[in-house]
A and B are shown apart, each in its own frame.
Chain A
Amino acid sequence: MTVPEPTAGPTAARPKYVGGAVKRREDPRLLLGRGRYVADINLAGTVYMAIVRSPHAHARITSIDTSRAVAAAGVLAVLTWADIKDEAGPLPCIDRYTDSLPVLQTALADGVVRYVGEPVVALVASTEYGAEDALSLIDVEYEPLPVVVDLDEATAGTTLLYPEHGTNVMTTIAQDVGDVAAAFAAADRVYEETFTIHRYVPMPMETRGVVAEVDPITERLTLTTSTQFPHLVRGFLSGVLGMPESRIRVVAPDVGGGFGAKCEFYCEEVLAPLFALRLRRPVKWIEDRRTSMVASSHAREQKHTVRVAVQDDGTITAVDAQSWTSNGAAYCTLATTPASISSAMLRGPYRIPHYRARAHCVVTNKTPLAVYRGAGHPQAVLVMERMVDTIAADLGRDRVELRLQNMLTPAELPSDRGTAIVLAGQVVYDTGDYGACLERAAEMIGLSGDWEAEQAAARAEGRYLGIGLASLVEETSIGPYESAVVRVDGAGKVTVLTGSSPHGQGHVTTFSQLVADELEIDIEDITVLYGDTDVVADGVGTFASRSAAIGGAAARKAAGVVKEKALGVAAHVLEIDVADLEWRNGAAHVRGVPARARTLGELASAATAWNAPLPGGMEFNLEATYQHQAGGIAFSHATHAAKVGVDVETGEVTVLDYVVVHDCGTVINPTIVEGQVHGGVAQGLGGTFMEELAYSPDGQPLPMTLQDYIMPTLGDMPWIRTDHMESPTPLNPYGMKGAGEGGATGAPGALVNALQDALAPFGVNLTSDGPWTPDKVLALIPEDPA
């Protein structure tokens, strides 16, 4: 598909942008290096913040002596918890359950440190280098405490992070559907397995960073921060500092990726403002990659035990599941969401009428764990899809057929699944054809009758091939709402303000497509603004695959209101009843008299204050604000299919082919959706084969830089083939669902199943998501495979 060429002439039907592979409007600037990220912002008089972080995983702070730093030339201020405890409240956690124990972070450690990297003392110096030098002048003494990094040990609770609570299990989430006990009693077979999912991290290319500045005249604070949700940051900061929101402006400039790591409110976003308020100078802090390893949120780590009840005919009747999430040292902004999603979504596309889950959020001496592209979905998909393959193998059933037998059919939708996701709400699958999606993916990857023969023939030559499938349903487009403003200037140029601040997703392009189609104007006439709470008064943010569907709908709805206003103005200008007008090709036309028309620009101009007055009661200016509220969660779905080859002499795995068939409702822009899928698959592939944020038993994080935290590059990626299906959702006025996370959600399950398939002759049973590095793969293969 190409960019629609708007045809000339007032009567010609105008091609739609929505659905077209419109090139990303933001890319020329970003690709030419003209992005402006926090690190690029240099205000006159800027001073630099640095932070002393705990070298211990768990210790009591016995003394802090800042005197040498305070006396050092160039050091302007030093803050400890004692200095700020009356000004700065605990950092919020917005997804706490009512019975969650309160284990919140503070901007600086309050007496005890609970993970390596926890901020202890903050300082500001006149240069970046001076600030770094001064760190060694802060003397902190610690009395080490016993460390707990292992999930089982933490759950057992012999070492407690918060002795006052008597447990390390801070929340247990329950999901109960049907009669699990009866289903197991009636089951022909029961399968039981334990899965471990390792810790890996979002690692956006741009690390975090802040600049805080106080206007000496107005006393207003501006916090520029690399975040996914500037409006929420404004609210959080207001709450933590007890400062009215009206005095706070939060700016998210270009943001170089977030993936969940910037869907968090961090201590630096409190500390820099505190210094700026004291020093009346701009305070800047840019996170180093090494710091980012411990100071930005971690993700994924869970353990699952599942019991699955199955009838001899292959019907899966019940799942009884428990999970433990290694939440790290405290609850961060989004702490229970991964556990909540994993437990609510474990059954994926499968009917499974009886279901019970208990999801435990457990504190450990590690960096706090938060959401990361897919949140709890990838873990759930891995567990469920491995189990389905295990059952198929045991029953001697074809894995596609067994999946189809248990999948919800379109006729069964909508389907209330009886579970709920924190913040998002009830899980009611809306639309989709899960079976058709699976069959298409199986066909594309080559899982036809010949596959087993091909696999056997390759094995005879010493090549071990495997195909893996993972079918998934994922929560997207969560609310509660998003806001948008559409404004037309007197020249007919349109400004769109969105509260959903992007960080690489291409909002400028997709939102322009939606508004251009609504107003039937050229995409080039649209400017999209975002990321500044003084420019866009209200907003929620970009996370949970919500922006295009919820924010996009708000923008298009606002454009619709503008169009109605324009028709009203046209009726006045043309002295005709509004019912006799129609909107076509960016102009109001008199029905049946195509030549009598007024363009959007003419109408906008007519509605300005300096032109002829409008009739009483009519609003000036073509402008509208629209708040679109999500009517419920929209569920996207997909099947991933991976083909791998395993070198049984070295343990190296090559991904030979990769297919994603997915359905995110109405597709606004297939190129952007594909980009989202590709990026997500890369992250899932990284997590499956390379990435691990491992800790030593004494709580020291092992990787320090990207030289030892291994991430995939272009050279490691397979060619990904995608196919789109479109099942519009009735929950959205334009049928749109989310597409941002499915790639990361499906990849681990598909890749591990493929590896399992390849290594099946060796009798392996893979019960972890890796990372399947060559040594771990080779350890599964007997020394002489012949």
Chain B
Amino acid sequence: MKPAAFEYRRPTTIAAALDDLALDAGARVLAGGQSLVPLLNLRLATPSVLVDINRVAGLDEIAERDGRVHIGATARQAVVLSSDLVRTRVPLVAAALARVAHPQVRARGTVVGNLCHHDPASEMPAVALALDAEFAVVAPDGSPSSVPAADFFLDSFAVAVPAGGLVTGVSFPVAPPGTGAGFYEIARKAKDFALIAAAAQLTVAAGTVTEARVAVTGLGHRPLRMTAAEQSLTGGPSTAEAVRDAARLARGEVLAAVNTRSPAAYRSRVLPVVVCRALTSALAQLEPTP
């Protein structure tokens, strides 16, 4: 486990980080290191320059602004998970994050780094897609842009960040009143990456579903939104039966190559089950506690 030689930079401003990233085409951002360092050690990644953003001031925010919860690029998974703001305002983020890795890893790993890494078996991309997260991307020339989740995840381990640019944060819309969030995952062991997982959020007013958001990870090279299921629920009753019917509409191309440890036939078969279970637990949260 000995990485190849690299140059190490630790800027304190975004402008300096961009300068460091411009040093070489092989430069790469280092956040919590929980995915990148193993790659370095295995020499599966051999960047020429590592730009450590952990000292860039102000990137660790967790704050609510304009109806969205913003999570900065250096906010640790553990801190995000234990944040009351996150738990109450974007409960789906907390529900999924609880299934990401072990406490030791979460103490160091970041939510943004996890999303930028975009392992196709990763839980959080499904949440980002389901909730229409927005990524704050800075181009190499310093110009900011906001990239919606639907455009952010390009392929396994590929996201829409230009070479030499970086992500400063991600934001999720605050859950409207009357919202329940549910996450269901099948993994090979506790806290492991997903074989398949579904993220669901239901907003209900007077027994009617006003908004349904469902996305699944583990099927292909990007998380998939379950639009048919969402449409079938929206405007209908918030009942277990409606959820079951909607889950049967869960569809998506299942690629064998994405996870050789989990046959495509298996993932196809359990897709409606995980969608149903995620939706069911979202629904359960809406029921008045006895």
Contact = CB atoms under 8 A, between A and B. Distances in A.
Same complex: yes
Contacts of B270: 649-651, 774, 778
A657 interface: no
Contacts of A313: none
A775 B266 contact: yes
A690 B42 contact: no
A129 B189 contact: no
A714 B5 CA distance: 36
Contacts of B191: 713, 715
A690 B42 CA distance: 23
Nearest to B263: A775
B65 interface: no
A211 to B, nearest CB: 17
Interface string A287-311: 0111000000000000000000000
Interface in B247-282: 260-263, 265-266, 269-270, 273-274
Contacts of B192: 710
Give the size category of A's interface with B.
20 to 34
Given A649-B273, A650-B270, A704-B42, A716 B190 contact: yes
Contact of A129 (B5, B261, B263, B266): B5
Interface string A685-727: 0000010000000000010110110111111100000000000
Interface in A747-786: 773-775, 778-779, 783
A132 interface: yes
B186 interface: yes
Given A129-B5, A288-B1, A705-B42, A778 B189 contact: no
Interface string B170-203: 0000000000000000101111110100000000
B38 A774 contact: no
A650 B273 contact: yes
Interface residues of B: mostly helix, strand, loop or mixed? Answer: loop
B189 A705 contact: no
Given A133-B4, A704-B42, A774 B266 contact: yes
A710 B261 CA distance: 11
Interface string A126-150: 0011011100000000000000000
Interface string B116-130: 000000000000000
Contacts of A783: 269
Contacts of A132: 2, 4, 43
A702 B261 CA distance: 10
B42 A290 contact: yes
Contacts of A129: 2-5
A710 B193 CA distance: 11
A652 interface: yes
Contact of A128 (B2, B5, B262): B2
A705 B195 contact: no
Given A128-B2, A774-B266, A713 B186 contact: no
A336 B270 CA distance: 43
A101 B5 CA distance: 47
Contact of A705 (B2, B5, B38, B262): B38
A132 B2 CA distance: 7
A715 B190 contact: yes
Nearest to A131: B2
Nearest to A773: B188
A687 B186 CA distance: 19
A710 B1 contact: no
Contacts of A714: 190
B195 A774 contact: yes
B186 A710 contact: no
Contact of B186 (A128, A650, A704): A650
B62 to A, nearest CB: 26
A290 B42 CA distance: 8
Contacts of B1: 288-290
A652 B5 CA distance: 43
A716 B189 CA distance: 6
Interface string B93-114: 0000000001000000000000
A708 B261 CA distance: 8
A652 B186 contact: yes
A714 B192 CA distance: 13
Interface string A635-651: 00000000000000111
Interface string A360-374: 000000000000000
Contacts of A711: 189
Given A651-B266, A775-B263, A690 B188 contact: yes
Nearest to A774: B186
A288 B38 CA distance: 12
Nearest to A127: B2
Interface string A76-98: 00000000000000000000000
Contacts of A708: 261
Nearest to A777: B266
Nearest to B184: A650
Contact of B269 (A705, A712, A715, A778): A778
A712 B189 contact: yes
A714 B265 CA distance: 30
Contacts of B193: 707
B189 A775 contact: no
Interface string B1-17: 11111000000000000
Nearest to B119: A707
Nearest to B190: A715
Contacts of A774: 186, 188, 195, 262, 266, 270
Contacts of B4: 129, 132-133
A200 B195 CA distance: 21
Contacts of B3: 129
Contacts of A713: 102, 189-191
Nearest to B264: A775
A417 to B, nearest CB: 39
Nearest to B42: A290
Contacts of A128: 2
Interface in A140-172: none
5 contacts: A131-B2, A649-B270, A649-B273, A652-B186, A715-B190
- The 10 A-B pairs of least Cβ separation, nearest first, read A715-B190, A775-B266, A132-B2, A710-B188, A649-B273, A288-B1, A129-B2, A716-B189, A716-B190, A650-B270
Given A290-B1, A715-B191, A773-B188, 7 more contacts: A129-B4, A288-B41, A651-B270, A652-B186, A690-B189, A705-B42, A710-B192
Interface of B: 1-5, 38, 41-43, 102, 186, 188-193, 195, 260-263, 265-266, 269-270, 273-274
